[in-house]
């Protein structure tokens, strides 16, 4: 157990496995953004597996206060700390309910994603993944309040579990806007595109590559390599389609390297089959990078129904046609859409997000 300015007495404790950059994902981005604007009575508990992380580096965390890193086998030790509200951020942490630390506490479960396959079917929404379903349902049942990160995710939850309607709220994710927006030039010729995301089939990279055969341009791919089987499928397709002259893998990017990546491309393609929210759209939009986006899930709530560069990833040919439309459009038309996106992105700022969570915490503690 490692304390980083952790005082042991808080109104709110957040429990997560994604903090400190050890796991890549939307929850990690959310926690990083929330931490920037958290209040003094709010702490963060990083639960990790010591067999995988044999050493914790405090330099990886976002700050030097209100953080506790603890091996999951030591969860019982949390009983020595005081808190009123426990906020759980991942269904896979349901086992901490057995520790007894939540006795007489209010519980909030933030549903960053209803963990179904994509697409999912109502008669078997979890695709036979029984343990995932049990963990998810357990947290949903035991939580006093459920928070979804977009309206579409709330609708998905209620479609599957109507009984949770009355205790479910929506608080949109947000990104730090205090650094200000960055205006950038739009090129007349636009041929360099980017993909940024985890190597997960739901991110739609394979579908993007299939469409990219009909696009004049190059796709820069910034992703991890955690799913070896899916990466093999991607490589096999590129080989078979002879696309290597149009594709370049640059590995995972974060921090300044991510910002430079987003500035270097002519547009970011977000081909997700479904996205509960879509942090990458905020990251690109804040930097003035055009986004060519799937219409599935929370992304559409960010870009809005009037945004010009939106496609349905399930409709063959739509992505390629959307990219071509972006390439044909004049600089003025593209600038107008980029400005429109920037205006939408300003609605999703992290300070507003933190205030909405604080309002919820105050409400349920009274």
Q: Is 223 helix (H, G, I), strand (E, B) or coil?
A: coil
Residue 362, pLDDT above cutoff 70: yes
The rounded distance, in Å, linking the Cα atoms of 213 and 180 is 37
pLDDT at 177: 86
Q: Which has the closest alpha carbon to 343: 144, 137, 179, 181?
A: 181
The answer to whether the peptide bond before residue 210 is cis (omega within 30 degrees of 0) is no
Residue environment code for 95-128, b if the CB has 16+ CB neighbours within 10 A, otherwise e: ebbeeebbeeebbbbbbbbbbbbbebeeeebbee
Residue 116, pLDDT above cutoff 90: yes
Instruction: Label residue 350 by pLDDT band (50, 70, 90).
Output: very high
Residue 56, pLDDT above cutoff 70: yes
All structural domains of the chain, each given as residue ranges with its CATH number in brackets, are 2-174+349-365 (3.40.50.2000), 192-345 (3.40.50.2000)
Interval 89-109: pLDDT, tens: 999 999 999 999 999 999 999
pLDDT at 179: 65
Cβ pair 143, 167 in contact under 8 A = yes
The rounded distance, in Å, linking the Cα atoms of 7 and 3 is 8
Interval 260-291: pLDDT, tens: 999 999 999 999 999 999 999 999 999 999 99
Cβ pair 120, 127 in contact under 8 A = yes
The encoded tokens of residue 41 equal 């009575």
Residue 32, pLDDT above cutoff 70: yes
What's the average model confidence in pLDDT over 143-162?
Answer: 98
Please state the pTM of the whole predicted model.
0.95
Separation in Å, CA 170 to CA 146, 150, 180, 299, 351: 8, 6, 26, 15, 16
Give me the residue label for tokens 């200000």.
180
Give me the residue label for tokens 């081909």.
271
The rounded distance, in Å, linking the Cα atoms of 187 and 348 is 27
Interval 201-259: pLDDT, tens: 999 999 999 999 999 999 999 999 888 999 999 999 999 999 999 999 999 998 889 99
């Amino acid at each position: 157990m490692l304390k980083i300015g952790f005082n042991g007495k808080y109104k709110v404790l957040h429990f997560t496995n994604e903090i400190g950059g050890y796991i890549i994902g939307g929850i990690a981005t959310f926690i990083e953004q929330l931490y920037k604007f958290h209040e003094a009575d709010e702490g963060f508990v990083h639960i990790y597996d010591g067999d995988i992380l044999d050493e914790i580096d405090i330099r990886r965390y976002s700050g030097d206060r209100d953080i506790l890193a603890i091996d999951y086998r030591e969860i019982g030790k949390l009983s020595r700390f005081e808190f009123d509200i426990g906020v759980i951020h991942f269904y896979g942490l349901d086992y901490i309910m057995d520790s007894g630390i939540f006795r007489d506490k209010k519980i909030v479960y933030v549903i960053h994603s209803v963990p179904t396959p994509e697409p999912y079917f109502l008669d078997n929404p979890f695709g036979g993944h029984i343990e995932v379903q049990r963990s998810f349902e357990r947290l949903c049942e035991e939580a006093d309040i459920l928070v979804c990160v977009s309206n579409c995710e709330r609708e998905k939850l209620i479609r599957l579990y109507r009984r949770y309607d009355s205790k479910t709220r929506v608080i949109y994710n947000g990104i730090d806007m205090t650094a200000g927006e960055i205006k950038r030039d739009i090129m007349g010729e636009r041929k360099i595109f980017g993909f940024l995301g985890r190597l997960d089939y739901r991110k739609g990279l394979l579908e993007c590559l299939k469409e990219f055969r009909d696009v004049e341009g190059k796709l820069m791919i910034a992703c991890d390599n955690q799913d070896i089987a899916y990466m093999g499928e991607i490589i096999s397709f590129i080989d078979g389609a002879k696309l290597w002259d149009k594709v370049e893998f640059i590995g995972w990017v974060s921090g300044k390297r991510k910002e430079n990546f987003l500035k270097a491309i002519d547009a970011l393609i977000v081909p997700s089959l479904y996205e509960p929210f879509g942090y990458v759209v905020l990251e690109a939009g804040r930097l003035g990078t055009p986004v060519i986006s799937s219409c599935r899930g929370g992304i559409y709530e960010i870009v809005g129904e009037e945004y010009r560069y939106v496609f349905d990833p399930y409709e063959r040919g739509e992505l390629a046609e959307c990219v071509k439309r972006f390439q044909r459009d004049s600089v003025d038309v593209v600038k107008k859409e980029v400005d429109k996106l920037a205006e939408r992105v300003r609605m999703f700022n992290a300070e507003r997000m933190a205030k909405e969570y604080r309002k919820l915490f105050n409400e349920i503690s009274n």
